[in-house]
Structure 1
Amino acid sequence: MAEQSKGKAIMRKTLKISSLVLAVIIGILLIAVLISFINHKVKLNQESELFKPLGKMVTVDGHSMSVYTGGKGKTTLVFLAGGGTASPILDFKSLYSRLSDSYRIAVPERIGYGFSDVADTPRDIDTVLDETRKALKLAGEKPPYILFPHSMSGLEAEYWAQKYPNEVSAIVGLDPAVPAAYGNIQMPKTTFVFDLFSLGAKMGVTRFIPSMINSEPAIKGGTLTNHEKDIYKAVFYRRTETKPMINELESVKANAQKVNEMPPPQVPMLFFTSNGAGTGIAREEWQHYQKDYLSKVNNSQQILLDCGHYVQDFKYETIATHSKIFINSLVKVK
């Protein structure tokens, strides 16, 4: 009996110590999070001068949307960002700066991106497209456009040409997604991990992981100046895994299915296809998705690039050169 009592006492003492250790660990974590949050708020305030719209701000359905415009020419190129790209305006800069001498360019930033508002709005493809069209119109742009979609926005560009063929004269895909690419992808049943990451970003935890911002394609590649990189970073810490970005992930398979319900639009297409790095899909499979899609389009071309998914940040010179040749050929055909 004495040994049993002694054993129970030791167990109670062990549990008490374990509880104390756990409480200390939780306390340390809470203090760390608090310090991170305070540091984040201080940094946001310091960066406020950098977080000023680079383009026009227009109001679409009660929310402010950013649209960057520039360049010169009769043809307007519209750049559509891929999912999760914090600053579309700066992400595309290396490319559109090499095209703006011959064409007018426009970069609308979706809700939750860049300098646009963050709002918990539906991200079905009809809503997203409607917002993009309204934003461009309010910014003074008029169709027809040549669309330059990157990644997930390939779906928006394809749907745009399906639904409003008179507004799209061609599509120059920057490693664009096509409906079939989402057919076999297992999307997460819950966005818990993304929500947790989003919370971490809001608490400023991402600031203590420099590899995240340093690995951003626009920072790692491209031709941004040091000042523009500072602006990108200021945007990044405000636009990482925003609610609209997460909502897009939840809607993407349904959006792909809707695009797939109609045949590919018969507008001229030029796709610049990456080696698949960054897509989560093997090179051959990724390149085949785009090749197969283009096989159903009468006037189409595919150029393979040996670089990662953000082709506009790694092969901007090559893309600009071939894009000009492609666009000029369209003018000659007319």
Structure 2
Amino acid sequence: MKVFKRLLIIVPAILVLVIGFVVLSSYFEHRDLIAEEKELYPAPGQLVDVDDGQLHIYAEGEGDNTLVFMSGLGTSSPFYDFKPLFDELTEDNRIVVIERAGYGWSEITSTGRDLDTVLAESRQALAEIGESGPYTLIPHSLAGMEAIYWAQSYPGEVERIVGLDPLIPEYYEQDEDRDNPLSPLVTFLARSGLMRQQEGVCENMPVIEKGYLNDEEMEAACAIFMRRLMTKNMWEEYRSLDDNSQLVLNGPGLEVPFYAFISGQGEELWIDTLEDYADMSFTLDAGHYIHLDETELIGEKITEIIETDDITF
């Protein structure tokens, strides 16, 4: 019995030590790999200083219209996520991709994710690289909130909003079954580096899953995925949704056109609310990453919208 009791203490203790050793080893290896990957895959755009760190902002193309792409919650690499779509639009337009704090090549910061802070950082980053409005804002998902708030706060800087299955506060306030898209377990696996042990995990990135990237781009996107999966800034964005939604709801009405490409695979409340809110909406048989399911069509229709502020289907 004495031996048995000792084993009940010793065996769990050994297991804890072994698990701790594995996690710590994985973590330090993960940090070393991140340092190597930063050298191997430098930012394609510019890193600009904002109040608490640096944001990555990518710009290319020339034209009378500047299109600003804004990513959804948890999209680890906005640059690669939007690349198939902005490639359709760079010939005749200036395109800009803003990677918020904690996304892509941008740094993880300690600033809050209230809309005033997020918008101030976006505007500061644009100013730092010499961009000026008015802009056509192209937000995906969560970024719909920031785009609407931008137009409410600085209507002279926004010409129109073209949402890619965008989140609007009218939906958020009615949704009684809100699911947290961020997972504590996945967050732990990402930050400890244990995620790297999961073979093929990067293939879950929609832009890779749908076959848009070549081998070199996939390697770079995967490196970003490993260090920008469910960062603390993403978690703070999720926790700030209640306050941000109320802020937009209590703001003035939009003075600019709001267009929306809507995922027909979403729930009925999502579709109905967006169709009611938008000046013009287009519901497509596509998933939430609608710009990767209907890239060519959406590129053509955005061009139509820019040229005529109208659209036909």
Give TM-score scaled by structure 2 length.
0.91
The CA deviation at 1:138 is 0.9
2:275 maps to 1:291: yes
2:171 maps to 1:181: yes
CA contact (8 A) 1:175 1:272 kept: yes
Distance between the aligned counterparts of 1:241 and 1:130, measured in 2? Answer: 22
* Segment of structure 1 superposing worse, 138-147 or 238-247: 238-247
Tell me the alpha carbon deviations over residues 37-93 of structure 1, each in whole angstroms, 9 at most, x when there is no partner. 243234324423333111112111142111100011110000001111111111100
**Aligned equivalent of 2:301:** 322
The CA deviation at 1:13 is 4.1
Distance between the aligned counterparts of 1:292 and 1:210, measured in 2? Answer: 43
Distance between the aligned counterparts of 2:19 and 2:297, measured in 1? Answer: 48
Following superposition, which runs of at least 4 residues in structure 1 exceed 6 angstroms of deviation? none
2:36 maps to 1:52: no
The CA deviation at 1:165 is 0.9
* Segment of structure 1 superposing worse, 179-188 or 83-92: 179-188
Distance between the aligned counterparts of 2:244 and 2:288, measured in 1? Answer: 21
- List runs of 5+ in structure 2 lacking aligned partners: none
CA contact (8 A) 1:144 1:169 kept: yes
CA contact (8 A) 1:94 1:222 kept: no
Distance between the aligned counterparts of 2:250 and 2:29, measured in 1? Answer: 49
**Aligned equivalent of 2:74:** 84
2:221 partner amino acid: Y
CA contact (8 A) 1:50 1:234 kept: no
1:224 partner amino acid: L
2:283 maps to 1:301: no
Distance between the aligned counterparts of 1:308 and 1:94, measured in 2? Answer: 16
* Mapping 1:90-101, distance limit 5 Å: 90-101=80-91
* Segment of structure 1 superposing worse, 105-114 or 92-101: 105-114
CA contact (8 A) 2:52 2:109 kept: no
**Aligned equivalent of 1:201:** 190
Tell me the alpha carbon deviations over residues 166-189 of structure 1, each in whole angstroms, 9 at most, x when there is no partner. 111111101100002222356689
* Mapping 1:122-161, distance limit 5 Å: 122-161=112-151
Distance between the aligned counterparts of 1:242 and 1:257, measured in 2? Answer: 24
2:245 maps to 1:226: no
The CA deviation at 1:211 is 4.8
Cα distance change on mapping 1:181 and 1:18 into 2, 3 Å = farther
- 2:10 pairs, out of 17, 20, 40, with 20
Cα distance change on mapping 1:77 and 1:201 into 2, 3 Å = same
SS at match of 2:140: strand
Cα distance change on mapping 1:182 and 1:223 into 2, 3 Å = same
Tell me the alpha carbon deviations over residues 204-243 of structure 1, each in whole angstroms, 9 at most, x when there is no partner. 0111223532111121125222111111111111111111
CA contact (8 A) 1:222 1:314 kept: no
RMSD of aligned alpha carbons: 2.2
**Aligned equivalent of 1:6:** none
Distance between the aligned counterparts of 1:185 and 1:161, measured in 2? Answer: 27
**Aligned equivalent of 1:112:** 102
CA contact (8 A) 1:155 1:256 kept: yes
- List runs of 5+ in structure 1 lacking aligned partners: 1-9, 277-281, 295-299
SS at match of 2:113: coil
Distance between the aligned counterparts of 2:33 and 2:61, measured in 1? Answer: 34
CA contact (8 A) 2:52 2:111 kept: no
SS at match of 1:67: strand
* Mapping 1:259-278, distance limit 5 Å: 259-276=248-265
1:118 partner amino acid: I
The CA deviation at 1:97 is 0.5
Distance between the aligned counterparts of 2:228 and 2:207, measured in 1? Answer: 15
Aligned residues: 309
SS at match of 2:111: coil
1:238 partner amino acid: R
2:22 partner amino acid: A
Looking at CA atoms only, which structure, 1 or 2, has the larger radius of gyration?
Answer: 1
Cα distance change on mapping 1:117 and 1:146 into 2, 3 Å = same
The CA deviation at 1:197 is 3.9
**Aligned equivalent of 2:111:** 121
2:269 partner amino acid: E
SS at match of 1:85: coil
